[in-house]
Structures are given as structure tokens and as C-alpha cells.
Amino acid sequence: MNIRHRLLTVAGVALAGALAAGCGRAEPDPVAGVPAFAVDAPAVTLVEPGENPQVLSFATPAEQDPWETEVRVFGGIDQSVQSAAQVSEEAPAGGDVNSTTLPLAVTSQPAPAPNDGENTADRRVDFTVGSGRHSNLKLGQEVASAEGFAMSWRAENSGRVDTLKLLAPPESSTTGRGIVESSLLTLMSTNVVFPAEPVGVGGSWTVSGRVTSDASMLRTTTYTVAGISGDTVTLNVSVEERPTQQELTIDNEIAGELNGANLAVEHSATTSEGGITVDLRRPIPVDGRVSATTRVIYSGPQPDVRVVQDITNAVEYGG
């Protein structure tokens, strides 16, 4: 489900209404007037239970539990036209990417009773973005303008997010809001979801669903338990992605003779690597990195030509 543009519009309207209604007094809940949007539930499948399996779940603190951390979200797309005889079906390990760095103030607490558009949940998790940075210095100024961007989600203790709210500060630029929102959605949709069944060291499970910030991709993430020590769980992570749409039409003059052509997915493959550390008392990983590059090969009206897209993304945790 691609909710990006709808959320930006609604968040801006809701914020204006909250400011008008709350003039002269503090608003106890900054996202109280923001509609909650349902998040697609991923499919979670146990593959192997592992040794000494136990049910893994995030803790629900008795009260707000403040925490400061930092995440870095990387993304980039490289597209080329290649000879069908020479194109490689294997995805490269990485590619040219831009990075967005977001300092985060995070609180987690028991979820209050649901409001309109919300369901019963175990935890409410709130994120407030600090002064962010971008690998492109010009875009870095745009990202910094979105300081104070708020994200709030209601989730089960398994980690599955049920509903989501986003609220951009009114002084942020359109570009800055878009970059920060996309990064936050990536953070949410790639977060760990544990299986309902017990799992131990050597055990593994898969989580499959559409990438919220890019509904055109279906992602299957495999988590393998490398270690469990108290509340700390270390996971090895691998990713497979494939496009949800098997055909597309090129609408770009730069494509030359291919502009206007209908293309069909001929092949897709992902190269990935990842390892993260999860503290069950914290709602997102405290350390580590997961990166993936997916190569999608399209065939079209010219039998000897292929259009190749390499889509690279990564999330890095910990300040």
C-alpha cells in the first residue's frame, strides 16, 4: 500500500487544524488530530525452530521509555539499456546511493484504547526526527527543514505495525518532507516482526509483504537467529525482492526509441547482506545494517535489447 502522498496531505491539514484549535494551550498529543492509516499485515512463516526455541517478542514498558538513536537510510536506482546477449541476470552487490541520516527521539509505552481508524494494540511507539542530514548537501538543507517530523505507530509485541500516523512540521519544505517521510516509511516497513512460534539459535523465519514506501516491490526477508542473550537478539538477515507489476510503459523522452514502449519483466534477482542487533526493550534494532540490490530485467519490442534496473536500498541502525 502506497500511502505516501495521502499521508503528507492529510498530515498538513490535520496540523493546521490542531494549531487553530489549540492556540494558546499546549497540545498533549501532537498527532491526536491525524487520521490513522492501516498498514498491510505481512505474512510471517517459521522455517526452522532452532535450538532451545522460545517465543521472542518486544517488551511493553509500564510507562514512556525515552531513547535516542540514529538511523541511516540509503537508496538509489541505476537504469541502463543493454544487449540481450551480454546482460547478466545476477544483481550487483550495491550501487550508487544517496543517504539520509535521521536522529530520532523514541518513546514506547502501552497502547491506549483505540480511536477512530485504530485497532487494539500492545504498544504505541512515537518517533520525533531531529536535524537530519543528506549525502547531497543541497538536499541536506531540505531534510534539516523537517526537524520535528513525527511518526507514531500502534503495534503488536511481535513487532507487526497495525496503524500509522505521520505529521510534518508546517515550516518544512515539500522536498524535505518527502525525503524524511519516505525514510520513515522504509524504517517502519523493514522493521523486525517475530513469528508467533518459538524460535532459538539457528532458527529462522520469513516476513513477506509490500514495501510501504514503494508499493511496486514485494519483499521477503529471512531472519536467522545468531544468538540470544537476555533481551539481546542478534540476527542474520537476507532479502529477496521482486516487482509486483509484471509490465510497465516507458514515459520518458530520454529513452529515445523506447519511449512509449511496453516492457515486461523477464527476470529479477536480489543480492543482499545483513546483520542486526535487537534489544527487546527497544522498538527498532539498536545496531547493524541490512542492504539489498535488486536487478530487474525488462524485455520489450526490440528482441536484442533489454532494459536493466538496479534498485539499491539499505538501512543502518545505531548512532
How deeply is 60 buried, as exposed, middle or buried, from its count of CB atoms within 10 A (0-12, 13-18, 19+)?
middle
Residue 174's H or E segment, with its range, is: helix 174-189
How far apart are alpha carbons 196 and 192 in whole angstroms? Answer: 13
Fold of 4-317: Lipovitellin-phosvitin complex; beta-sheet shell regions (2.30.230)
The amino acid occupying position 145 is S
Spans in the chain with pLDDT lower than 70: 1-27, 212-215, 252-259, 319
How far apart are alpha carbons 98 and 76 in whole angstroms? Answer: 6
Q: Give pLDDT, residue 15.
A: 38
Q: Give pLDDT, residue 1.
A: 40
How far apart are alpha carbons 222 and 34 in whole angstroms? Answer: 34
- pLDDT tens column, 23-62: 333 447 999 989 999 999 999 999 999 999 999 999 988 8
Q: Which long-range contacts (CB under 8 A, 24 or more apart) does 257-263 make?
A: 257/302, 258/81, 258/300, 258/302, 258/305, 258/307, 261/300, 261/301, 262/300, 262/301, 263/298, 263/299, 263/300, 263/307
Q: Give pLDDT, residue 257.
A: 66
How many Cβ atoms sit within 10 Å of the Cβ of residue 222?
A: 19
Q: Give pLDDT, residue 3.
A: 44
Q: Give pLDDT, residue 95.
A: 80
Q: Which three cell numbers stand for residue 307?
A: 532494459
Q: Give pLDDT, residue 11.
A: 41
